[in-house]
Amino acid sequence: MLYTKLDVSKDTKYICYGAGNNATKLLEVLEKKDLLNRALFFVDNNKELHNTNIKYGEFCYSIYPIEKLNENPDAIVIITPWQSDEIVKEIKKQNTVKYYMTLNEFIAFINIKECFAENYSINTRFIVLNTPSYGNLGDHAIVIAQRDFLEKYFTNEIIEINDFSCTWGMSCIKEHVNDNDIIIITGGGNLGSIWGYLTENILNTIEDFPNNNIIIFPQSPYYEPNEIGEELLHTSQIIFAKHNNLLICVRDNDSYKRTRDYFPESEYLLVPDIVLSLKYDISSSRNGIGICLRDDKEGVLSNEEHKMVYNIVERHSNNVVYKELMINEYDKEVKYIEELTEDMIKSFARLKCVITDRLHGMVFSVITGTPCIVIDNSYKKTSSLYFTWLSKNDNIIFIDEISEEIINEAIIDVLKKKPIVYNVDSIQPYYNELIEYISELVGMKNND
C-alpha cells in the first residue's frame, strides 16, 4: 500500500520484513539513498533466523519475530519478498502497524519524492513519464533528445519519472501533479502489444490524469493481430476516446495510418523520431565495420542469418565492432546510463559503416554521418521511418531480403560511401507543428 502523503523526514524509521534473498536488495536501496541508519531491524517468520543478524557494511541488523512490529507503530514496514499478499495479511493482524509497502513501492515512493522535492510549483511544468529504467540505449537517447528539445524551445521546469516508478507509484505521482502541468509520455516503440507492460503505464497515465493535457511523443504504435493484441487495442481505444486533451505523435507514415484507424477520435501528428533532432560531430578518423543487431522478439534474423552476417562482415574487415544497444544496467543512476548512451552514439561516428536492424542503430548512424546497411524489424517500424524521413539519404542502403549475395553486395557498396555531415536543419521544420502545439498550451496556461 503506497501512502502518497506520507511525510518522509529525517526521523522516519524503517522495519524490513523478510530476511531472505531480497534483504540485500533492500539494503542496497537504503544505502543508495543514505538511509541505512534509519533501518531499525528485520522481522521474519522463519524461527531459525530469530535472534540472528544481517551484516551490511558497518551496520548490523537483528532479526525478530513479526510481533516486534508492535513496538514501533510509526515506522514504515518494507516487505522484501515478491509474493507479499500473505505477508500483508500477517501485518494487518498486528493492529498497531500504520504503514507498510512492498520493496518495489518503496523504491518508487522514494524516487518520486526525490523528483518532486525541489520542484513544487504552481507554474506549468512538463511531467515526463515512462522514461526507461531498462538498458535500451536507443530509448535513453530518446529521453536525452526529448529533454534537449523541451529545453531548446521552452523555459518550463522538466520533471522526469521512469517506467518503474510509474508502474509502482502512480498514486504518489498523482499527489504531486497539478492540473496546470503538461504530461509528456516518452516516445519510442512501446505503445501496443509488443511491450505490453509499458503500454499499461501509458493507459494508466491517460486514465489517472483526465484534466491534464497529455502529449505522447513520437511513437510507432502497433497492436499485434492476435487475441492479446486485439484485447489490448480495445482497452486502449476506450481509454483514449475518453480523454479530451490527448495528442498522439507518431514517427512514420505506417504508424500514422495505423493510429488513424486505431484511435479515430484522438488528435495526432506525424513527427520524426525525436532523436533525429540531435546532431553530433563526425569523426575525421574512422575504422572498422559495426554490427548492431537485435536479439529479441522484434528481430527477424534467425541464428543462422546472424552468423551469416557476421561471417560476411569479417571477410571485409579485420576490425569488426559489435554494438549492443541493450545493456544489462538496471540500477544505475540516470547520469551514468546517459553517459553510456552518448558514448555509444559517438562510437558510431568512429566507424566506416554499420549494419543494423535496430531503428536507433539506423538513427545513430544518420546523426553521426555514418554509412549504414539497414534491415527491417518484425513489424516494419524501421523501414517505415526510413521511407518517411530518410530515403533521400544516400548513405543508407536498405535491404528487404536476406541472402549471402545481397548482404555481400551491400557491404561492398556501403564501404564505397563517405561520411556526410548530418543536416539537422533539413528535418527541423517537421517538428514545428509539435512546437506550435506545445507553445499554445503553455501560453494558454500562463494566461489562466
To which residue does cell 544481517 refer? 54
State the pairing for strand pair 59-64/53-56: antiparallel
Choose among 81, 193, 189: nearest CA to 132.
189
Q: Percent of the chain, pLDDT > 70? A: 96
What confidence category does residue 396 fall into, taking pLDDT thresholds of 50, 70 and 90? very high
Residue 259 is predicted with a pLDDT of: 97
Q: What is the pLDDT of residue 54?
A: 96
pLDDT digits (tens, 9 = 90+) for 265-290: 999 999 999 999 998 887 778 999 99
pLDDT at 2 exceeding the cut of 60: no
**Is a pLDDT exceeding 80 seen at residue 76?**
yes
pLDDT at 331 (0 to 100): 60
Residue 8 has a pLDDT of 60
This prediction's pTM: 0.93
Measured CA to CA, the distance from residue 403 to residue 406 in angstroms comes to 5
333 or 182: which carries more pLDDT confidence? 182
- pLDDT surpassing 90 at residue 333: no
CA distance 374 to 359: 9
Contact indicator for 142, 174 with CB cutoff of 8 Å? no
Angle between helix 103-116 and helix 23-32 axes, rounded to 10 deg: 10
Backbone phi, psi, residue 361, to 5°: -65, -40
Residues 144-179 pLDDT 10s: 999 999 999 999 999 999 999 999 999 999 989 999
From 341, 392, 384, 343, select the one nearest 366 (Cα to Cα).
Answer: 392
* Position 330 pLDDT exceeds 80: no
Report, as an integer, the average pLDDT of 215-235: 97
Measured from the Cβ of residue 93, the count of other Cβ atoms closer than 10 Å reads 10
Answer yes or no: are the C-beta atoms of 215 and 271 closer than 8 Å: no
The three cell numbers of residue 271 are 513527427
- Please report the domains of the chain, with CATH numbers, ordered by start residue: 14-110 (3.40.50.720), 119-277+430-447 (3.40.50.2000), 289-421 (3.40.50.2000)
pLDDT value at 184 more than 80: yes
| pLDDT score, position 295 | 87
What is the predicted pLDDT for the residue at 9?
56
Q: 182 near 150, Cβ under 8 Å?
A: no
Instruction: Yes or no: say if 131 and 256 are a contact pair by the CB < 8 Å rule.
Output: no
Average pLDDT over residues 30-47: 92
Confidence of residue 328 (pLDDT cuts 50, 70, 90): confident
- Is the pLDDT at 6 greater than 80? The verdict is no
Q: Tell me the per-residue pLDDT of 226-264, one tens digit each, with 9 for 90 and over.
A: 999 999 999 999 999 999 999 999 999 999 999 999 999
Give the Cα separation of 41 and 48 in Å (integer): 16
The pLDDT mean for the chain works out to 92
Q: Which residues contact 242 (CB under 8 A, 6 or more apart)?
A: 207, 210
